[in-house]
Amino acid sequence: MKVKGIQRKGLTALTAAFAVTMMLSGCGSNGNDGSNSANGGNGGGDNAAAATGNGGANANAGAANGGSDASKLEPYTIKWFVPGAAAQKDQALVNEEVSKYLKDKINASFDLEVIDWGSWADKMNLKFASSEPFDLMYTANWDGFATKIAQGNIIDITSLIDQYAPEAKAVIEPALLEGSKVNGKNYGMPVNKEMATQFGVMLRKDLVDKYAIDLTTIKTLQDLEPYFDMIKDKEPGVTPFYLNKDISLLNVWNNNNFDYYDGGAGTLPKGSTDFKLVMGLETPEAKAGYDLIHQWYQKGYVNKDAATLQDLSGGLKAGKAFAYPEQLKPGKDAEVSTATGVQWVQVELTQPIIGTGDTQGSMASISRTSKDPARAMMFLNLLYTDKYLVNLIAFGIEGKHYKKVGDNTIDFADGVTAQTSGYNLNQAWLFGNQFNDYLWTNEDPQKWEKFKTFNKAAKNSPLLGFVFDPSNVKTEVAAITNVGKEFNSGLGTGTLDPNVYLPKYIDKLKAAGIEKVIAEEQKQLDAWRAAQSK
């Protein structure tokens, strides 16, 4: 699960569909393409291999994947920050096991730290502001990826991949590695997983079964309303449509009504042939989406605290929700069921689309404060190629956190549940090569084959490959971000009346300079299209 409790791709994601995140984000969602890149910055780039610090001078001792002569490398601790629903009680135990394994491989210890989604952005910004030494961090296009590049906080790892992770490079889907580049350079190592974005809803399976709900009747968001009415009447204490401040139905809505949507910059109307960007919030389609979620809020379908609720996962685990919106992929319902201890079924409401943002949806980047970027890359090479290592980090210690019930199938260890496990991150999408991951007993044995089919069946976004560089409009982007903080949660959860607050939002965005941002994006889009036609 990804998001302040759920998915943000992320999550993934379902952060505000009309939101302005750190740099005109797309979350691999809002139109499937909002990559928002920046110029390369001054983060050390290809000088990374020459970094100083423990082991840095000895990094050329060999490539990773067990091929390094660990005896020639100085001891080093790899520090990695990732977001999650909560810190894991047994994190230190897992880190210790990983450290034991890495010692003979690359003479490294391991220190993974999970930061809750609610404070993730603020805490990572503080770490960069104080130049705290660490090696790796989760990055995604929706999570200020362009900002981190422009500020030089994450480094160009293109040559590091070639030098220290050739095996990993051979494993990663080429379209992911190429599509995640910014100005021809890799600033993040993409997780090898699904490449497309699809949105829909999760429904509680026990209630679906109890009321014999025919999922094939649900084709649109509006098709959910009779079931919401039924749940509202017959299931006291259960919210029909459970949201938090960053999650809305608008990802579903926007993907079905626009070819590309960005509330903080340019939007491409459905079926556009002239590729002229517009201000999405001024379209009747966007207004209709806001109207729908506001109507749902007024009908009591949405939890009253949605606009201020940080974490969705607590409510899901407690059985407070019948439905919530989610970014989907094959087997997503099984993943969420494992994470929450509550059984879910998924209903797809959009077509899978591949956009630039999807290739940047989940990556590991190297911090400018790393004392040994080469060693960090050696570790990543192992992570993508060593099945034992990636499953240890993703699922914990065999016999304590999980048990093998087949060659590639696991269940919780004896006496352990989703709620009591000391290590149940349920965020395998954060780590390396998902095609090496074990599957839980409730997951489809053909999950990884279906991932490949899912990728092949997805349509390409009209803007696939386009990366907007906001460097020339930094001031406006910052002002737009602040305006978004004022309106996004209230409008996105239906709490605020769009008839009153949407015009105010639009006026403030114009005052902040959104028309200048759209003009700059249009200029870059026109140049990109011209280059594609040559």
Q: Do residues 521 and 322 make contact, with C-beta atoms less than 8 angstroms apart?
A: no
pLDDT of amino acid 98: 98
Q: Do residues 145 and 36 make contact, with C-beta atoms less than 8 angstroms apart?
A: yes
pLDDT over 60 (residue 7) = no
55-140+147-190+363-388: CATH superfamily: Periplasmic binding protein-like II (3.40.190.10)
- The domain segmentation of the chain, as residue ranges, is 55-140+147-190+363-388, 198-254+279-352, 395-445
- Count of beta carbons in the 10 Å neighbourhood of residue 406: 11
CA distances from 107 to 52, 232, 380, 386, 455 (A): 17, 57, 14, 16, 37
pLDDT of amino acid 294: 98
Backbone φ and ψ for 110, nearest 5 degrees, come out as: -130, 135
Decide if 55-140+147-190+363-388 and 198-254+279-352 have a common fold: yes
pLDDT of amino acid 381: 98
Q: Do residues 416 and 341 make contact, with C-beta atoms less than 8 angstroms apart?
A: no
pLDDT of amino acid 68: 56
Tens of pLDDT along 255-297?
Answer: 999 999 999 999 999 988 999 999 999 999 999 999 999 999 9
pLDDT of amino acid 492: 97
Cα 14 to Cα 305: distance, rounded to the nearest angstrom: 17
**SS3 of residue 59 by DSSP:** helix
Tens of pLDDT along 227-243?
Answer: 999 999 999 999 999 99
Tens of pLDDT along 411-460?
Answer: 999 999 988 999 998 899 999 999 999 999 988 888 888 888 888 888 88
pLDDT of amino acid 468: 85
Cα 432 to Cα 386: distance, rounded to the nearest angstrom: 9
Cα 505 to Cα 308: distance, rounded to the nearest angstrom: 18
Rounded to two decimals, what is the model's pTM? 0.68
Tokens found for residue 471: 């460097």
198-254+279-352: CATH superfamily: Periplasmic binding protein-like II (3.40.190.10)
- What's the sign of the alpha-carbon dihedral 95, 97, 102, 104? positive
Tens of pLDDT along 324-358?
Answer: 999 998 889 998 998 899 999 999 999 998 887 78
Q: DSSP assignment, residue 116?
A: E
Instruction: Tell me, rounded to whole angstroms, the distance of Cα 298 from its chain centroid.
Output: 30
Tens of pLDDT along 58-112?
Answer: 444 344 444 457 789 999 999 999 999 888 999 999 999 999 999 999 999 999 9
